[in-house]
Amino acid sequence: MTHDAPRLLPCGDTAFTIEFGKRIDAHLSARVLALDAVLAASALPGLLETVPTYRSLTVHLDPLRADPAELGRAVLALAGEPLAAVPSTRLWRIPVVYGGEFGIDLEAVAAHHGLAPGTLIERHSAPEYRVAMIGFLPGYAYLEGLDPGLALSRWPSPRPLTPAGTISIGGAQALVASIAAPSGWHLLGRTPEKTFVPERDPVFLLRPGDRVRFVPTPAARWDALAAAAEAGELVAELCEG
């Protein structure tokens, strides 16, 4: 497969971005995460933080310890080399209550695709997703792997507020929302799991490269699971290896 040549995009004197392409693509995402892993293991002087997205990696640096242009050239050279794919060792099984008050767009999305609501749930929960990036709002997990047959453009006008834990789709993307916020995405369900807790270590439950499986869960279990999550218990199942 032909890959785009990575580009160096300066971001002032404390950051730069390595851009691998201009599209959402699993191969580009894999290259981003591979470079991220290389930099995490490199301990380059002055490197403070890396922020992966679907198609680029932003590098934050201390300009008193590293020259931005010099470090940028070094990272760009690394990005142009063959990078070993990062194995996904963590799999999260996340409980989701679909439809009704938990997923108010489920029936409309099913009707749009000519599906029964139960079939939509089966198809949405069937794939093994991968977390491509955390962004937009703290803890928002953007997932690769949505069934292309379920893709649907976002609403033309966003809702002023949608609940924390919402499991939604927008275009060809899938999302686990961490906090209550406006959204134009289609709300299929909700998880009681808390994926962003500022007082917890780690603050974010999910990280780029993690795999995710959605587990359809009866609405009757919501109160108990939500209470457990509120008490600090993990209601998602973590499988390592």
pLDDT per residue as tens digits for the range 17-36: 999 998 888 889 999 999 99
Cβ atoms within 10 Å, residue 22: 11
Residue of 8, 129, 14, 12 lying closest to 57 (CA atoms)? 8
Model pLDDT, residue 207: 94
The residue ranking higher by pLDDT, 240 or 16, is: 16
Cβ atoms within 10 Å, residue 18: 25
Provide the CA 24 distance to its chain's centre, in angstroms.
12
Q: What does DSSP say about strands 159-162 and 173-176: parallel, antiparallel, or unpaired?
A: unpaired
Query: How far is residue 69's CA from residue 65's CA, in Å, rounded to a whole number?
Result: 12
Query: How far is residue 144's CA from residue 240's CA, in Å, rounded to a whole number?
Result: 19
**Arithmetic mean of pLDDT over the chain:** 94
Does the structure show a pLDDT above 90 at 230? yes
Average pLDDT over residues 208-213: 95
Give 202's contacts (C-beta < 8 A, 6+ positions apart): none
Model pLDDT, residue 241: 66
Distances (CA, A) of 41 to 38, 53, 63: 5, 19, 20
Structural domain spans, the chain = 7-80, 90-240
Contact present, 175 and 142 (Cβ < 8 Å)? yes
Q: Does domain 7-80 have CATH number 3.30.1360.40?
A: yes
Does the structure show a pLDDT above 70 at 117? yes
Model pLDDT, residue 112: 97
Distances (CA, A) of 191 to 13, 50, 103: 41, 28, 10
Model pLDDT, residue 123: 98
What is the third-level CATH fold of 90-240?
Cyclophilin (2.40.100)
Does the structure show a pLDDT above 70 at 1? no
Model pLDDT, residue 85: 81
Model pLDDT, residue 240: 81
